[in-house]
Amino acid sequence: MPHSEARASGIEGEKEVVKLIDGCPNCGKKLKPLPKNYPLYDVQCEACSFRAQLKTNRCPPKGVIFGAGWNILNHVMKAGFMIPPLIVNFVWTENKRKRQCICFYPFIPKDKIRRRKGNYAMFNYTGILDLPSFVLYEKPGSKVPPPSTKGGLLDAAIQVMKAAGRPMNCKEVVAAVREKKLWSSTGKRPDATLYFSIFREIQKKGSEARFRKTDRGMFELKA
């Protein structure tokens, strides 16, 4: 999608969201779109200090969504500010019917932000289905992401791997996690997400990591 088109659909999305949701999540008064070039935030409450970013995604709820420019967010985080609350307007079609749900993620930890592969000037939000969220609007018949379980995929994976007691690959782990209903997601490649999470933990924590790589794509829990 060309940038201008994406921007236009963003603005339409903002108007639509403001209309559909029941006002400010904090105080219930009216929300209004901020000016087009306003950095980082897209909507603001008329009565209180609530402000949020707003993204429209033409797909069912999923864990990875396009963010915005990395530089400004990086400055904001370096200055010690938190990542702005995020409202995501998911719009998609299913059986030729329009589906829609608007989710609000009040708190986004830093580790959910990733610079976009192939375009480091931009970032994505990842793993947002694991975050605490509120559904602000749901078109009847639309599937809303399941409420977050406390730990998310990584914790569920640990349970499964503990029970198995042998090295496993991420596809196997995800299948077992689903079978035991420890975690669910509408994401397309949870095995890839899991791989990345485990990989990152090993990279970041070294000998403190809870996992060990045993072979290509295979991990086991440390005793």
Is residue 129 a contact residue for Zn ion (CB under 5 A)?
no
Question: How near is the Cβ of 50 to Zn ion at its closest, in Å?
Answer: 4
Q: Is 16 helix (H, G, I), strand (E, B) or coil?
A: helix
Q: Are 110 and 70 in contact (CB under 8 A)?
A: no
How far apart, in whole angstroms, are the C-alpha atoms of residue 40 and residue 69? 9
Is residue 45 a contact residue for Zn ion (CB under 5 A)?
yes
In terms of CB distance, is 45 or 54 closer to Zn ion? 45
Residues 115, 116, 117, 119, CA torsion sign: negative
Question: How near is the Cβ of 46 to Zn ion at its closest, in Å?
Answer: 7
In terms of CB distance, is 86 or 158 closer to Zn ion? 86
Q: Which of residues 48-77 bind Zn ion (CB under 5 A)?
A: 48, 50
Q: Is 82 helix (H, G, I), strand (E, B) or coil?
A: coil
How far apart, in whole angstroms, are the C-alpha atoms of residue 76 and residue 71? 9
Pull the structure tokens for residue 155. 């914790």
- Looking at 11, 16, 18, 26, which residue binds Zn ion (CB under 5 A)? 26
Is residue 21 a contact residue for Zn ion (CB under 5 A)?
no
Q: Which residues bind Zn ion (CB under 5 A)?
A: 24, 26-27, 29, 45, 47-48, 50
